[in-house]
Structure 1
Amino acid sequence: MRRRLLVTGAGTGASDNLIRSLRGGDPSFWIVGVNSDRFVLKKSIADQRYLLPSAESEEFAAALVALVEREDIALVIPTTDVEVSALSEMREALGPRSFLPDRAAIARCQDKHALSAHLAAHAIPIADTRPVTDVDGLPDVFARLGGTPPYWCRARTGSRSLGAAPMRSPEQARAWMLYWEEMRGVPVTSFVVSEYLPGRDFLCQSLWKDGVMLLANSFERLSYFGGESNPSGVSSLSSLAKTVVDTRVLETSRAAVRSLGPRVSGVFSVDLKENRRGVPCVTEINAGRFFIGMTAFDHVSKHNLPLTFVRLALGEPVGLREEYDAVEDYYLVRDLDTRPGVFHADELFEGIETLPEATESAPEGPVA
């Protein structure tokens, strides 16, 4: 019998990348895609598509459970933090058809200040981070952080670098936060200010069962969607990324996830950035979901991580323990309206011609 999976956010890049990865690992999967946006849903590559209420609505849980029963779904896989939270709150209704970290771990990871405080208490490298209680207290926040500007301002919840920008002074931060409060309805108390991390930007995905890391891989962001037009100069969406082998990233990520509980289970996607001393520091953990674009690398790895996730969730043996499945020098290239491309470094010189007189001045993209 074909196993039937349900993937949320159908039609988005995150969902389509995940579905392609799952089909690459096991073409027999029957995949049902759901979304609350009819337009986005229409372009989903799922086998079946259902329009459901938003995961933030009161009607979502009942509608999802009814669909799961109707389509005999074996596993529901979320693709956003909002959907992770919604599924977490209805885990009793879903039973074995969800495979998520526990409620406490999800809640902690979705609050960046709470996570930073927790990791600091467990001696995990982080950026020194301070909560904002009111704009009048910003001079004291900056003084407590010490060091030299800039400092990093961002919202303590949300995704895609919400409210993130470097700040050189309390006055800049005050204006920035008041703008977000007035124009976007984000309260000043939703912000944190932290030490600025200028170094390399890493990602590490890992799969856990009962407190044991079974499988992990790692990547580095090299350039960003909209980075040139964002005040921050970056975003969580990479336009160019590559695979890396870096045991510092692995060990820090493993320690961070392990600190969340003695029997953590599920998938954890950890963001890290190097500080001024070159130490990778955890900036956030996406508990219960894969990174938006990194599943595109699965076909060049030894193990397909989403497929392993499904097998583990369905109670099948996976035969893995503490496996660091990292490879070097594969590049992911993403752009709007195109399917992601993955190329080895050697391939970048195949099928591309140059004019001798233009070689010296032609840009070659980010240096990695």
Structure 2
Amino acid sequence: MGSRVLVVGAGTGVGNNVLRSLRAGDADLTLIGGHHDRFALKKSSADRHYLIHESTHPHFLESLRRVIEREQVDVLIPTSDRDVRRCSDLREEIPCRLFLPSPRVIALCQDKYELTRHLRARGVGAPITYPLEDLASVGPIFDRFAPAELVWCRVRSGNGSTGAIPVKTAAQAQAWIGYWAEMRGVPSTSFTLCEYLPGRDFGGQSLWLDGRPILVKIFERLAYFIGGGSTPSGVSSVAALAKTVDEPRVAEVAQAAVRAADERATGLFGVDLKENAAGEPYVTEINAGRPLAGTNLLDLTGKHNMLVTYVRVALGEPVGMVDERDVAEDFYAVRDLDTLPGIHHADDFFERVHDARVPEDDR
């Protein structure tokens, strides 16, 4: 009988991507899905589905325990930052395996300003970042950057480029932050102003145990899913088009960032990096304890399925690898609204495609 895995967040894009990766990598797994929203849960691709309380609900643990005990769950996988933090807080009371970083590391990684400050103090490349004390502090902070230089304004927590926008002037930043305060209830102290990074955009997902990297994979974001213009920054951690790449320098910085966050790192770490004007990869955030939304690109290509490896390590099974950089170049993830993410090799884009852009005689 195979292991039994509970995915919290089943039915969402990332939840179903996790289920897809696990099912593709190990058909013997029994996959159980949980979500607090029955409408989202209806889209779950798990074998069994459970309506549970939201992780912020006072009875979340009780509903989780009912599922775990009824289904004899071996491993629980949270798929959002909020669920990671809540499950981490309850780790001593949840009656199944959790494979999470320490509570300190989770809290550090969920505050982008504190993380950036922590990394820079330890020699890991990260953008110069300043926190806001109030709206009036925008002007003095702006003066610290070079004139006419773009500045990145963003909320210091959350994902998907929440509240992020490039600005050229202090007035633009103040207007943006003021709008979020008035219309969205996000205080100015939740924002930071930081160095703008114009270069290539990378992501790295790695699996760790007691400070040792087990498996590392790197990809590059080429285009973004921005919801028809609803992301004014023009970028997002949610890629519409991404590809696997062999970039040792990016992998090295990503691993250095995880080590700097925790010398005894354990669990799954997703590191976002962007190049500065000199082409140096800088760490912009670390998603600690959960799979990246585009995890299929990393699980369905290469020698090793990272999420299946995650489950095996969580259960204490030997996996026979240490610090393995699994590179399968030129695989692409293509994503859009209401479609299953496609994972294709570069050669696939020419199969069964007839080019009608030019006459056949001119080809």
TM-score by length of 2: 0.96
Equivalences for 1:250-269 in 2 at 5 Å? 250-269=251-270
Amino acid at match of 1:74: D
Q: Is the 8 A contact 2:270 2:286 kept in 1?
A: yes
Letter of the aligned partner of 1:328 in structure 2?
Answer: E
How much has 1:72 moved relative to structure 2? 0.8
Structure 1 position 320 matched with structure 2 position 326: no
Distance (Å, rounded) in 2 between the aligned partners of 1:227 and 1:307: 31
Secondary structure at the aligned position of 1:50 is classed as strand
Cross-structure match for 2:91? 91
Kept in 2: contact 1:220–1:243 (CA 8 A): yes
Write the deviation string for residues 274-329 of structure 1: whole angstroms up to 9, x where unpaired: 01111010000000011101324422211010000000000100111010002211
The superposition leaves residues 142-167 of structure 1 with CA deviations (integer Å, 9 ceiling, x where unpaired) of: 12233642100000011111100001
**Which runs of no fewer than 5 residues in structure 2 stay unpaired?**
none
- Measured against aligned partners, the alpha-carbon deviations of 1:315-364 in whole angstroms (never above 9, x if no partner) come to 100111010002211111111111111111122111110125379xxxxx
1:204 aligns to what SS in structure 2?
Answer: strand
Q: CA deviation digits over 1:15-35, x for unaligned, max 9?
A: 111111111111011111011
Gaps of 5+ in 1: 360-368
| Corresponding residue for residue 341 of structure 2 | 340
Decide which moves more: 11-20 or 99-108.
Answer: 11-20
Change in 2 beyond 3 A, CA 1:37/1:96: closer
Q: Which moved more, 1:128-137 or 1:223-232?
A: 223-232
Pairs within 5 Å for 1:306-317: 306-317=307-318
The Cα offsets for residues 25-81 of structure 1, whole Å up to 9 and x where unpaired, read as: 110111110111111101111011111111122221221123212211101001110
> 2:268–2:288: 8 Å Cα contact kept in structure 1?
yes
Q: How many residues align?
A: 359
> What is the rounded CA distance, in whole Å, between the counterparts of 1:306 and 1:196 in structure 2?
33
Shift of the alpha carbon at 1:264?
Answer: 1.0
1:3 is displaced (CA, Å) by 1.4
Q: Which residue of 1 aligns with 2:35?
A: 35
Return closer, same or farther for 1:300/1:343 CA change in 2, 3 Å cut-off.
same
CA deviation profile, 1:167-222 (whole Å, cap 9, x unmatched): 11111111100100110010100000000001100000000000000100010111
Preserved CA contact (<8 Å) 1:295 1:306:
no
Asked if 1 retains the 8 angstrom alpha-carbon contact of 2:153 and 2:166, the reply is yes
Tell me the residue number matched to 2:306.
Answer: 305
Task: Provide the residue aligned with 1:101 in structure 2.
Answer: 101
Contact 1:21-1:296 at 8 Å conserved across structures:
no
CA distance in 2, matches of 1:142, 1:243: 36
**Alignment-derived partner of residue 22 in structure 2:** 22
Structure 1 SS opposite 2:92: helix
The residue that corresponds to 1:363 in the other structure is none
Residue 235 of structure 1, CA deviation: 1.3
Change (3 A) 1:168 1:73: same
- Pair 1:319–1:335, CA change in 2 (3 A): same
Residue 126 (str. 1) matches residue 107 (str. 2):
no
Contact 2:155–2:164 (CA<8 Å) still a contact in 1?
Answer: yes
* In structure 2, C-alpha distance between the alignment counterparts of 1:281 and 1:262, rounded to whole Å: 20
Question: Closer, same or farther in 2 for the Cα pair 1:147/1:103, shift >3 Å?
Answer: farther
**Higher mean C-alpha deviation, range 113-122 or range 334-343:** 334-343
Tell me the residue number matched to 1:366.
Answer: none
1:213 maps to what in 2?
Answer: 213
Amino acid at match of 1:337: D
Pairing 1:65-84 to 2, within 5 Å after superposition: 65-84=65-84
Partners of 1:227 and 1:233 within 8 A in 2:
no
Match of 1:162 in 2: 162
Verify the 8 A CA contact 1:13 1:293 in the aligned structure 2: no
Q: Residues 207 and 268 of structure 1 are in contact (CA less than 8 Å); yes or no, is this contact kept in structure 2?
A: yes
Q: Matched residue of 1:92: which SS?
A: coil
Query: Which residue identity does 1:226 align to in structure 2?
Result: I
1:357 maps to what in 2?
A: 358
Structure 1 counterpart of 2:273: 272
TM-score normalised according to structure 1 size: 0.95
CA RMSD of aligned residues (A): 1.4
* AA aligned opposite 1:283: T
Comparing 197-206 with 86-95, greater Cα deviation is found at 86-95
Q: Secondary structure at the match of 2:149?
A: coil
For the Cα contact (< 8 Å) 2:75–2:96, is it kept in 1?
A: yes
Match of 1:235 in 2: 236
Q: Secondary structure at the match of 2:31?
A: strand
Contact 2:76 2:96 in 1 (8 A): no
Give the distance between the partners of 1:144 and 1:180, measured in 2 at CA.
23
Residue 166 of structure 1 aligns to which amino acid in structure 2? P
Residue 177 of structure 1 aligns with which residue?
A: 177
- Paired position in structure 2 for 1:191: 191
Q: Is the 8 A contact 1:227 1:235 kept in 2?
A: no
Could you tell me how far apart the structure 1 residues matched to 2:51 and 2:359 are?
Answer: 52
The one-letter amino acid of 1:196's match is Y
The separation in 1 between residues aligned to 2:123 and 2:147, in whole angstroms, is 20
CA distance in 2, matches of 1:20, 1:296: 11
Q: Distance in 2 between matches of 1:80 and 1:356?
A: 43
Aligned to 2:289: 288
- Partners of 1:242 and 1:159 lie apart in 2 by 20
